[in-house]
Protein backbone atom coordinates (compact mmCIF):
# COMPACT_ATOMS: atom_id res chain seq x y z
CA UNK A 1 0.00 0.00 0.00
CA UNK A 2 2.74 2.49 0.89
CA UNK A 3 5.15 1.82 -2.00
CA UNK A 4 3.71 4.48 -4.28
CA UNK A 5 2.97 7.00 -1.55
CA UNK A 6 5.32 9.89 -0.86
CA UNK A 7 6.21 10.57 2.77
CA UNK A 8 4.49 13.52 4.43
CA UNK A 9 6.78 16.45 5.28
CA UNK A 10 7.95 16.64 8.91
CA UNK A 11 6.11 19.06 11.20
CA UNK A 12 7.77 22.47 10.78
CA UNK A 13 8.30 23.02 14.50
CA UNK A 14 8.58 19.53 15.98
CA UNK A 15 10.84 18.54 13.05
CA UNK A 16 13.26 21.27 14.12
CA UNK A 17 13.54 19.72 17.59
CA UNK A 18 14.38 16.37 16.05
CA UNK A 19 17.22 18.05 14.13
CA UNK A 20 18.32 19.80 17.33
CA UNK A 21 18.48 16.52 19.26
CA UNK A 22 20.75 15.01 16.61
CA UNK A 23 23.14 17.98 16.75
CA UNK A 24 26.32 16.99 18.67
CA UNK A 25 27.69 20.53 19.14
CA UNK A 26 27.68 21.36 22.87
CA UNK A 27 27.04 25.03 22.13
CA UNK A 28 23.74 24.30 20.34
CA UNK A 29 20.74 26.43 21.32
CA UNK A 30 17.08 25.58 20.62
CA UNK A 31 14.98 28.71 20.17
CA UNK A 32 12.40 26.71 18.22
CA UNK A 33 9.81 24.58 19.97
CA UNK A 34 7.37 26.19 22.40
CA UNK A 35 8.51 24.57 25.60
CA UNK A 36 9.61 26.43 28.72
CA UNK A 37 13.25 25.98 29.72
CA UNK A 38 14.78 27.00 33.01
CA UNK A 39 18.14 28.70 33.56
CA UNK A 40 19.86 25.31 33.19
CA UNK A 41 18.12 24.66 29.87
CA UNK A 42 15.80 22.01 31.32
CA UNK A 43 12.02 21.70 31.14
CA UNK A 44 11.40 20.86 34.79
CA UNK A 45 8.52 19.11 36.52
CA UNK A 46 7.05 21.86 38.73
CA UNK A 47 7.38 21.27 42.50
CA UNK A 48 3.62 21.68 42.89
CA UNK A 49 3.13 18.90 40.31
CA UNK A 50 5.52 16.58 42.19
CA UNK A 51 3.62 17.30 45.42
CA UNK A 52 0.25 16.62 43.80
CA UNK A 53 1.57 13.41 42.24
CA UNK A 54 2.61 12.25 45.71
CA UNK A 55 -0.94 12.80 46.94
CA UNK A 56 -2.27 10.95 43.91
CA UNK A 57 0.11 8.03 44.41
CA UNK A 58 -1.14 7.60 47.94
CA UNK A 59 -4.84 8.13 47.36
CA UNK A 60 -5.68 6.88 43.86
CA UNK A 61 -7.65 3.65 44.16
CA UNK A 62 -8.60 2.90 40.56
CA UNK A 63 -7.52 3.43 36.98
CA UNK A 64 -10.98 2.79 35.65
CA UNK A 65 -12.22 4.99 32.79
CA UNK A 66 -13.07 8.62 33.37
CA UNK A 67 -16.46 9.81 32.09
CA UNK A 68 -16.46 10.86 28.41
CA UNK A 69 -16.21 14.50 29.47
CA UNK A 70 -13.51 13.80 32.08
CA UNK A 71 -13.60 14.33 35.83
CA UNK A 72 -16.32 16.89 36.74
CA UNK A 73 -13.99 18.37 39.40
CA UNK A 74 -11.45 19.08 36.65
CA UNK A 75 -14.03 20.80 34.45
CA UNK A 76 -15.11 22.95 37.41
CA UNK A 77 -11.48 23.86 38.21
CA UNK A 78 -10.85 24.76 34.56
CA UNK A 79 -13.91 27.02 34.51
CA UNK A 80 -12.83 28.83 37.67
CA UNK A 81 -9.42 29.42 36.14
CA UNK A 82 -10.43 30.59 32.68
CA UNK A 83 -13.50 32.67 33.69
CA UNK A 84 -12.57 33.64 37.27
CA UNK A 85 -14.24 31.99 40.26
CA UNK A 86 -16.93 34.69 40.55
CA UNK A 87 -17.88 34.69 36.88
CA UNK A 88 -21.54 34.91 35.97
CA UNK A 89 -20.86 32.26 33.29
CA UNK A 90 -20.25 29.76 36.10
CA UNK A 91 -23.13 30.79 38.36
CA UNK A 92 -25.51 30.75 35.38
CA UNK A 93 -24.20 27.31 34.33
CA UNK A 94 -24.00 28.51 30.74
CA UNK A 95 -20.70 26.83 29.82
CA UNK A 96 -19.89 23.18 29.13
CA UNK A 97 -16.29 22.09 29.75
CA UNK A 98 -14.81 18.79 28.67
CA UNK A 99 -11.29 17.55 29.44
CA UNK A 100 -9.47 17.18 26.12
CA UNK A 101 -6.00 15.78 25.38
CA UNK A 102 -4.08 19.06 25.41
CA UNK A 103 -4.91 22.35 23.77
CA UNK A 104 -4.53 20.63 20.40
CA UNK A 105 -7.14 18.02 21.32
CA UNK A 106 -9.40 20.79 22.61
CA UNK A 107 -9.13 22.70 19.35
CA UNK A 108 -9.87 19.56 17.36
CA UNK A 109 -12.88 18.53 19.47
CA UNK A 110 -14.21 22.09 19.13
CA UNK A 111 -13.55 22.06 15.40
CA UNK A 112 -15.32 18.70 14.92
CA UNK A 113 -18.25 19.93 17.00
CA UNK A 114 -18.66 23.09 14.93
CA UNK A 115 -18.23 21.21 11.67
CA UNK A 116 -21.17 18.96 12.56
CA UNK A 117 -23.51 21.95 12.52
CA UNK A 118 -21.88 24.56 10.28
CA UNK A 119 -19.83 22.60 7.71
CA UNK A 120 -19.93 25.47 5.22
CA UNK A 121 -18.60 28.07 7.62
CA UNK A 122 -15.08 29.37 7.12
CA UNK A 123 -12.55 29.42 9.93
CA UNK A 124 -10.61 32.68 10.13
CA UNK A 125 -7.12 32.62 11.61
CA UNK A 126 -4.74 35.50 12.27
CA UNK A 127 -1.97 36.26 9.80
CA UNK A 128 0.32 34.78 11.00
CA UNK A 129 -0.83 32.10 13.42
CA UNK A 130 0.38 28.90 15.08
CA UNK A 131 0.88 26.65 12.04
CA UNK A 132 -1.20 23.82 13.50
CA UNK A 133 -4.38 25.95 13.48
CA UNK A 134 -4.45 25.48 9.71
CA UNK A 135 -3.86 21.76 10.10
CA UNK A 136 -6.44 21.19 12.83
CA UNK A 137 -9.32 23.15 11.30
CA UNK A 138 -8.43 21.90 7.83
CA UNK A 139 -8.48 18.28 9.04
CA UNK A 140 -11.91 18.88 10.57
CA UNK A 141 -13.08 19.81 7.06
CA UNK A 142 -13.15 23.59 7.24
CA UNK A 143 -11.98 26.05 4.65
CA UNK A 144 -9.46 28.42 6.25
CA UNK A 145 -9.31 32.18 5.69
CA UNK A 146 -6.95 34.76 7.16
CA UNK A 147 -7.47 38.12 8.84
CA UNK A 148 -4.79 40.81 9.14
CA UNK A 149 -2.97 40.88 12.44
CA UNK A 150 0.78 41.50 12.59
CA UNK A 151 2.38 44.57 11.07
CA UNK A 152 5.95 43.86 10.02
CA UNK A 153 6.74 47.59 9.83
CA UNK A 154 5.78 48.50 13.39
CA UNK A 155 6.45 45.00 14.76
CA UNK A 156 3.09 45.42 16.46
CA UNK A 157 -0.60 44.87 15.84
CA UNK A 158 -2.39 46.30 12.81
CA UNK A 159 -5.65 46.69 14.68
CA UNK A 160 -7.36 48.88 12.08
CA UNK A 161 -6.86 46.30 9.33
CA UNK A 162 -7.78 43.47 11.67
CA UNK A 163 -11.09 45.16 12.48
CA UNK A 164 -11.71 45.95 8.81
CA UNK A 165 -11.22 42.32 7.89
CA UNK A 166 -13.39 41.02 10.71
CA UNK A 167 -16.19 43.45 9.77
CA UNK A 168 -16.60 41.42 6.58
CA UNK A 169 -16.80 38.01 8.27
CA UNK A 170 -20.31 36.58 7.91
CA UNK A 171 -22.41 35.36 10.82
CA UNK A 172 -21.68 31.77 11.91
CA UNK A 173 -18.15 31.82 10.49
CA UNK A 174 -15.55 31.04 13.15
CA UNK A 175 -12.79 33.45 14.20
CA UNK A 176 -9.82 31.93 16.01
CA UNK A 177 -8.26 34.38 18.47
CA UNK A 178 -5.21 33.96 20.71
CA UNK A 179 -6.55 35.00 24.13
CA UNK A 180 -3.07 36.07 25.26
CA UNK A 181 0.59 35.66 24.29
CA UNK A 182 0.00 35.38 20.55
CA UNK A 183 1.97 32.58 18.94
CA UNK A 184 4.14 33.27 16.94
CA UNK A 185 4.34 37.06 17.19
CA UNK A 186 4.11 37.83 20.94
CA UNK A 187 1.82 40.74 19.95
CA UNK A 188 -1.52 40.97 21.79
CA UNK A 189 -4.54 43.28 21.69
CA UNK A 190 -4.78 45.83 24.51
CA UNK A 191 -7.81 45.96 26.79
CA UNK A 192 -9.63 48.60 24.79
CA UNK A 193 -9.09 46.63 21.57
CA UNK A 194 -10.47 43.42 23.13
CA UNK A 195 -13.56 45.36 24.17
CA UNK A 196 -14.06 46.65 20.63
CA UNK A 197 -13.59 43.15 19.24
CA UNK A 198 -16.20 41.66 21.59
CA UNK A 199 -18.68 44.34 20.46
CA UNK A 200 -17.92 43.54 16.83
CA UNK A 201 -18.41 39.80 17.43
CA UNK A 202 -21.83 40.36 18.97
CA UNK A 203 -22.84 42.76 16.19
CA UNK A 204 -21.72 40.48 13.38
CA UNK A 205 -22.66 37.11 14.85
CA UNK A 206 -19.44 35.31 14.01
CA UNK A 207 -18.26 32.75 16.55
CA UNK A 208 -15.10 33.59 18.51
CA UNK A 209 -12.93 30.54 19.21
CA UNK A 210 -10.35 31.54 21.80
CA UNK A 211 -7.11 29.61 21.94
CA UNK A 212 -5.94 30.00 25.54
CA UNK A 213 -2.68 28.06 25.70
CA UNK A 214 -0.59 30.51 27.74
CA UNK A 215 -2.69 31.73 30.68
CA UNK A 216 -0.24 33.15 33.22
CA UNK A 217 2.59 33.78 30.77
CA UNK A 218 1.47 37.31 29.88
CA UNK A 219 0.79 39.44 32.93
CA UNK A 220 -0.58 36.82 35.34
CA UNK A 221 -3.35 34.23 35.63
CA UNK A 222 -6.06 36.77 36.50
CA UNK A 223 -4.89 39.50 34.13
CA UNK A 224 -4.56 37.13 31.17
CA UNK A 225 -8.24 36.18 31.15
CA UNK A 226 -9.26 39.70 30.11
CA UNK A 227 -10.20 38.63 26.57
CA UNK A 228 -12.28 35.70 27.80
CA UNK A 229 -14.12 38.05 30.19
CA UNK A 230 -15.07 40.42 27.38
CA UNK A 231 -16.71 37.70 25.29
CA UNK A 232 -18.37 36.29 28.42
CA UNK A 233 -19.81 39.73 29.21
CA UNK A 234 -21.17 40.01 25.66
CA UNK A 235 -23.47 37.04 26.34
CA UNK A 236 -22.75 35.44 22.97
CA UNK A 237 -21.82 31.94 21.86
CA UNK A 238 -18.08 31.31 21.90
CA UNK A 239 -15.54 28.56 22.56
CA UNK A 240 -12.34 28.37 24.57
CA UNK A 241 -9.61 25.79 23.99
CA UNK A 242 -7.39 25.89 27.07
CA UNK A 243 -4.23 24.02 27.86
CA UNK A 244 -2.22 23.25 31.00
CA UNK A 245 0.78 22.13 28.96
CA UNK A 246 2.71 25.34 29.51
CA UNK A 247 1.40 26.88 32.72
CA UNK A 248 1.61 23.59 34.68
CA UNK A 249 4.46 22.14 32.61
CA UNK A 250 2.19 19.12 31.94
CA UNK A 251 3.16 18.90 28.26
CA UNK A 252 3.18 15.13 27.86
CA UNK A 253 0.18 14.51 30.10
CA UNK A 254 -2.13 16.00 27.44
CA UNK A 255 -4.10 18.17 29.80
CA UNK A 256 -6.43 20.62 28.12
CA UNK A 257 -10.11 21.46 27.91
CA UNK A 258 -12.70 22.55 25.43
CA UNK A 259 -15.29 24.94 26.84
CA UNK A 260 -18.39 25.93 24.92
CA UNK A 261 -20.03 29.10 26.27
CA UNK A 262 -23.64 29.76 25.35
CA UNK A 263 -26.25 32.35 26.37
CA UNK A 264 -28.14 29.88 28.61
CA UNK A 265 -27.71 26.75 30.74
CA UNK A 266 -30.18 24.86 28.56
CA UNK A 267 -28.06 25.49 25.45
CA UNK A 268 -24.87 24.54 27.32
CA UNK A 269 -26.40 21.20 28.15
CA UNK A 270 -27.28 20.57 24.49
CA UNK A 271 -23.73 21.56 23.49
CA UNK A 272 -22.31 19.17 26.09
CA UNK A 273 -24.30 16.25 24.71
CA UNK A 274 -22.82 16.86 21.26
CA UNK A 275 -19.25 17.37 22.52
CA UNK A 276 -19.58 13.95 24.15
CA UNK A 277 -20.49 12.30 20.87
CA UNK A 278 -17.44 13.89 19.23
CA UNK A 279 -15.19 12.55 22.01
CA UNK A 280 -16.82 9.12 22.15
CA UNK A 281 -16.23 8.46 18.46
CA UNK A 282 -12.69 9.76 18.60
CA UNK A 283 -10.81 8.66 21.74
CA UNK A 284 -13.76 7.73 24.00
CA UNK A 285 -12.55 9.44 27.16
CA UNK A 286 -9.53 11.49 28.20
CA UNK A 287 -6.27 10.47 29.90
CA UNK A 288 -6.60 10.97 33.65
CA UNK A 289 -3.24 11.77 35.20
CA UNK A 290 -2.65 15.40 34.18
CA UNK A 291 -6.23 16.43 34.94
CA UNK A 292 -6.12 14.83 38.38
CA UNK A 293 -2.82 16.55 39.14
CA UNK A 294 -4.04 19.97 38.00
CA UNK A 295 -7.28 19.57 39.98
CA UNK A 296 -5.40 18.71 43.18
CA UNK A 297 -3.16 21.75 42.72
CA UNK A 298 -5.98 24.15 41.92
CA UNK A 299 -8.17 22.90 44.77
CA UNK A 300 -5.47 22.79 47.48
CA UNK A 301 -4.65 26.32 48.71
CA UNK A 302 -0.96 25.65 49.55
CA UNK A 303 -0.32 23.89 46.23
CA UNK A 304 -2.15 26.60 44.33
CA UNK A 305 0.05 29.25 45.96
CA UNK A 306 3.12 27.20 45.12
CA UNK A 307 1.92 26.90 41.52
CA UNK A 308 1.32 30.64 41.16
CA UNK A 309 4.84 31.31 42.46
CA UNK A 310 6.41 28.80 40.09
CA UNK A 311 4.41 30.21 37.20
CA UNK A 312 5.52 33.74 38.10
CA UNK A 313 9.09 32.43 38.14
CA UNK A 314 8.73 31.15 34.56
CA UNK A 315 7.06 34.35 33.38
CA UNK A 316 9.65 36.60 35.01
CA UNK A 317 12.59 34.62 33.67
CA UNK A 318 11.27 35.10 30.15
CA UNK A 319 10.84 38.84 30.71
CA UNK A 320 14.45 39.00 31.97
CA UNK A 321 15.63 37.16 28.85
CA UNK A 322 13.71 39.61 26.65
CA UNK A 323 15.59 42.48 28.30
CA UNK A 324 18.94 40.70 28.08
CA UNK A 325 18.44 39.95 24.40
CA UNK A 326 17.63 43.57 23.56
CA UNK A 327 20.60 44.81 25.62
CA UNK A 328 22.89 42.09 24.23
CA UNK A 329 22.08 42.85 20.59
CA UNK A 330 22.70 46.57 21.21
CA UNK A 331 26.01 45.79 22.95
CA UNK A 332 27.07 43.74 19.90
CA UNK A 333 26.32 46.77 17.70
CA UNK A 334 23.55 45.00 15.77
CA UNK A 335 21.80 47.55 13.56
CA UNK A 336 18.20 48.40 14.32
CA UNK A 337 15.81 48.94 17.19
CA UNK A 338 14.97 45.67 18.92
CA UNK A 339 13.00 47.24 21.77
CA UNK A 340 9.83 45.63 20.37
CA UNK A 341 11.07 42.32 21.80
CA UNK A 342 10.53 43.77 25.28
CA UNK A 343 7.03 44.92 24.40
CA UNK A 344 5.92 41.48 23.17
CA UNK A 345 4.49 38.99 25.63
CA UNK A 346 4.56 35.30 26.33
CA UNK A 347 7.09 32.74 25.20
CA UNK A 348 7.57 34.01 21.66
CA UNK A 349 8.75 36.95 19.61
CA UNK A 350 8.98 37.58 15.96
CA UNK A 351 12.64 38.50 15.89
CA UNK A 352 12.49 40.15 12.47
CA UNK A 353 15.51 38.02 11.44
CA UNK A 354 15.41 37.18 7.76
CA UNK A 355 15.45 33.62 6.40
CA UNK A 356 19.14 34.15 5.55
CA UNK A 357 19.93 35.05 9.15
CA UNK A 358 17.89 32.08 10.43
CA UNK A 359 19.69 29.64 8.15
CA UNK A 360 23.10 31.13 8.93
CA UNK A 361 22.44 30.77 12.68
CA UNK A 362 21.55 27.16 12.11
CA UNK A 363 24.49 26.32 9.83
CA UNK A 364 27.25 28.32 11.45
CA UNK A 365 26.22 28.55 15.10
CA UNK A 366 23.96 25.55 15.80
CA UNK A 367 21.18 27.93 16.88
CA UNK A 368 17.74 26.65 15.89
CA UNK A 369 15.02 29.16 14.99
CA UNK A 370 11.68 28.42 13.29
CA UNK A 371 11.47 29.69 9.69
CA UNK A 372 9.94 33.17 9.69
CA UNK A 373 12.10 34.19 12.66
CA UNK A 374 9.91 33.14 15.60
CA UNK A 375 12.07 32.73 18.69
CA UNK A 376 11.24 31.06 21.98
CA UNK A 377 12.71 33.40 24.57
CA UNK A 378 12.74 30.57 27.12
CA UNK A 379 15.50 28.91 25.08
CA UNK A 380 17.82 31.72 26.21
CA UNK A 381 19.80 31.49 29.46
CA UNK A 382 22.42 33.69 31.12
CA UNK A 383 25.00 31.17 29.86
CA UNK A 384 24.02 31.21 26.17
CA UNK A 385 22.75 34.78 25.71
CA UNK A 386 26.16 36.27 24.83
CA UNK A 387 26.81 33.49 22.33
CA UNK A 388 23.41 34.01 20.73
CA UNK A 389 23.84 37.81 20.51
CA UNK A 390 27.34 37.50 19.03
CA UNK A 391 26.07 34.91 16.52
CA UNK A 392 23.17 37.13 15.46
CA UNK A 393 25.56 40.05 15.06
CA UNK A 394 27.80 37.91 12.81
CA UNK A 395 24.85 36.57 10.81
CA UNK A 396 23.48 40.06 10.19
CA UNK A 397 26.76 41.53 8.91
N1 LIG B 1 -2.34 26.73 20.76
C2 LIG B 1 -1.20 27.39 20.68
C3 LIG B 1 -1.21 28.80 20.19
C4 LIG B 1 0.00 26.77 21.02
O5 LIG B 1 1.14 27.43 20.92
C6 LIG B 1 -0.03 25.44 21.47
C7 LIG B 1 1.22 24.70 21.85
N8 LIG B 1 2.33 24.93 21.09
C9 LIG B 1 -1.26 24.79 21.54
C10 LIG B 1 -2.40 25.47 21.19
C11 LIG B 1 -1.41 23.35 21.93
O12 LIG B 1 -0.96 23.01 23.14
P13 LIG B 1 -0.93 21.51 23.64
O14 LIG B 1 0.50 21.14 23.70
O15 LIG B 1 -1.58 21.59 24.98
O16 LIG B 1 -1.67 20.66 22.69
pLDDT in tens, the chain (397 residues): 999 999 998 777 778 888 899 999 999 999 997 899 999 999 999 999 999 999 999 999 999 999 999 999 999 999 999 999 999 999 999 999 999 999 999 999 999 999 999 999 999 999 999 999 999 999 999 999 999 999 999 999 999 999 999 999 999 999 999 999 999 999 999 999 999 999 999 999 999 999 999 999 999 999 999 999 999 999 999 999 999 999 999 999 999 999 999 999 999 999 999 999 999 999 999 999 999 999 999 999 999 999 999 999 999 999 999 999 999 999 999 888 899 999 999 999 998 889 999 999 999 999 999 888 899 999 999 999 999 999 999 998 8
**CATH 3.40.640.10 segments of the chain:** 65-299
Task: Tell me which of 99, 102, 179 to substitute to probe ligand 1's pocket, judged by most ligand atoms within 8 Å of the beta carbon.
Answer: 102
Integer angstrom CA distances of residue 154 from 120, 159, 245: 35, 12, 31
With contact defined as beta carbons under 8 Å apart, do 250 and 293 qualify?
A: yes
Position in ligand 1 atom list of the atom nearest CA 256? 15
Within 13 Å, how many C-alpha atoms sit on residue 21's CB side?
Answer: 7
Q: Assess whether the C-beta atom of 34 lies below 6 angstroms from ligand 1.
A: yes
Our answer on whether the CB atom of 215 is closer than 6 Å to any ligand 1 atom is no
Which pLDDT value is given to residue 33?
Answer: 78
C-beta of 294 in contact with ligand 1 (< 6 A): no
C-alpha to C-alpha distance for 238 and 217, rounded to whole angstroms: 23
CB of 106 closer than 6 angstroms to any ligand 1 atom: no
- Alpha carbon separation from 225 to 83, 229, 312, 389, 397 (Å, rounded): 7, 6, 16, 34, 42
Provide the 3-class DSSP secondary structure of residue 395. helix
Return phi, psi of residue 123, to 5°.
Answer: -110, 120
Burial string for 200-216 (b: 16+ CB within 10 Å, else e) reads: bbbebebbbbbbbbbbb
pLDDT at position 352? 84
Give start-end residues of each CATH 3.90.1150.10 domain in the chain: 14-44+316-396
Looking at the whole model, is its pTM more than 0.90? yes
Q: What is the pLDDT of residue 335?
A: 87
245 C-beta closer than 6 A to ligand 1: yes
Q: Is 349 in the pocket of ligand 1 (CB under 6 A)?
A: no
Catalytic one of 37, 155, 246, 276: 246
State yes or no: is 124 an active-site residue.
no
E strand residue ranges, the chain: 29-30, 95-100, 122-127, 143-148, 150-151, 156-157, 174-178, 207-212, 238-243, 256-261, 348-350, 367-368, 374-376
- SS3 for 60? coil
Give, for ligand 1, the residue of 43, 82, 102, 103 to mutate: max count of ligand atoms closer than 8 Å to Cβ. 103
How far is the C-alpha of 176 from the C-alpha of 331, rounded, in Å? 39
| Catalytic choice (37, 124, 130, 165) | 130
**Is the CATH number 3.40.190.10 carried by domain 14-44+316-396?**
no
Predicted local confidence at residue 18, as pLDDT: 86
Rounded (10°) angle between helices 191-204 and 226-234: 30
**Fold (topology level) of 65-299:** 3.40.640
Question: Is the ipTM above a cut-off of 0.95?
Answer: yes
Separation of 104 CA from ligand 1 center, angstroms?
A: 6
Q: Decide whether any atom of ligand 1 lies within 6 Å of the 366 Cβ.
A: no
Say if ligand 1 is within 6 A of residue 255 CB: no
Catalytic one of 165, 211, 224, 237: 211
Look at residue 30 and give its three-state secondary structure: strand
211 has catalytic annotation: yes
Query: Which ligand 1 atom is the nearest neighbour of the CA of 254?
Result: 15
Residue 53 has a CB neighbour count (10 Å cut-off) of: 16
130 is catalytic: yes
Amino acid sequence: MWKSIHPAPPDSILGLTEEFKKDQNPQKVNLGVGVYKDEAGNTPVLHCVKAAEKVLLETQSSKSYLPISGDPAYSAAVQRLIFGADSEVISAGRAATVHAPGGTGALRVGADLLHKFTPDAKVWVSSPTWANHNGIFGAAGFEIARYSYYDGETKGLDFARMMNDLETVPAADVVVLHACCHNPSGVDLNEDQWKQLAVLASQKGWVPFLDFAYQGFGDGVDEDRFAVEQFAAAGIDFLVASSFSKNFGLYNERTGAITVVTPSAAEASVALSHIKTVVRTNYSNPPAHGGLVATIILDTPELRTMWLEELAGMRNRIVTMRKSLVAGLAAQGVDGDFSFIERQRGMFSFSGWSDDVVSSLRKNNNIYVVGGGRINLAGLTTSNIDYVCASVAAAMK
